[in-house]
Amino acid sequence: MKYITKYKSSNYNSRNNSKIKLIIIHYTALNNIEEAISYLCNLDRKVSSHYLISQKGEVYNLVKDKFRAWHAGESFWQDFTDINSISIGIELDYSPFGRNNKFSTKMIYALKELIIKIQRKYKINTNNILGHSDIAPFRKKDPGKFFPWKKLSNYKILPEYTKVKNSKVKLIENWFHNNNYKTKKQKIIIALSIIGYDTRQVYNNSKLYNKLISAYSSRYFNIYKNIKVKSIYLILIKHLIKFMLTKN
């Protein structure tokens, strides 16, 4: 895979020997690739990413992997709060309100190839390929409800949750019962927490809870919208089971 390396961002610092564990997918929300390069390489902006992918599928390497790019901001995953130190950030030249409001076939193919390369190099678990909205659900929506997670799932670089047997769902339900998780809301929160989401403030804050559910639904109903369920609950429980089976 060839990278365009003539543009470099100075917005980075040391990882301090932190191991790379996550891949985070963003969109730029800017008008075009030129504007995105300028923005991510502008020292005054104090933001960057390791990679930027154009609508044509061109991959720009703006910050070397060994450095800590500044793409995640205030985020959380699996008790980690310094997400920049343990992640690779990938920006996509996409804006919901611009002419670049499609995730082109060439872009997604390049993204798939890049993820596979990074995943193999750093031995990143398939559970740890995330969107910005996964690690910052209360303030971010990217890569957005139209991002084709289903295509990445078809490439076998994401876990497959629908193949989990219903008998295993029953085991989880029994575990909930034995641990005195009675309401569906309690079960949803504990499941999201185990998977890695930030649930620290959602128990008594319905606004944050709804944002968290919206972020999760935006991603996973996108993948499994053919599943006839009235809520995200069944998908989430199967996700939890698959996560527990594949987290190492």
Averaged pLDDT for residues 146-157: 90
Residue 230 shares a structural domain with residue 210: yes
The answer to the question of residue 39 being in a domain is yes
Position 102 scores a pLDDT of 97
Residue pLDDT, tens place only, 180-208: 998 999 999 999 999 999 999 999 999 99
91 an active-site residue? yes
- Among 94, 120, 154, the domain boundary falls at 154
Position 68 scores a pLDDT of 98
The answer to the question of residue 60 being in a domain is yes
Position 222 scores a pLDDT of 65
Position 218 scores a pLDDT of 86
The answer to the question of residue 78 being in a domain is yes
pTM above 0.75, yes or no: yes
How far the first Cα of the chain sits from its last, in Å, is: 28
Residue 31 shares a structural domain with residue 148: yes
Count structural domains, the chain.
Answer: 2
Parent domain of 174: 166-246
The answer to the question of residue 3 being in a domain is no
Q: Express as a percent the part of the chain with pLDDT over 90.
A: 77
Residue pLDDT, tens place only, 100-120: 999 999 999 999 999 999 999
Round to whole Å and give the CA distance between 88 and 5: 16
Round to whole Å and give the CA distance between 221 and 128: 18
Position 159 scores a pLDDT of 80
- Among 154, 186, 219, the domain boundary falls at 154
Round to whole Å and give the CA distance between 31 and 35: 6
Residues in the chain: 248
Residue 21 shares a structural domain with residue 141: yes
Round to whole Å and give the CA distance between 32 and 241: 40
The answer to the question of residue 1 being in a domain is no
Round to whole Å and give the CA distance between 131 and 135: 7
Residue 172 shares a structural domain with residue 240: yes
- Among 122, 154, 186, the domain boundary falls at 154
**Which one is catalytic: 34, 35, 74, 91?**
91
Amino acid (1-letter code) at residue 224: Y
Q: Are 16 and 73 in contact (CB under 8 A)?
A: no
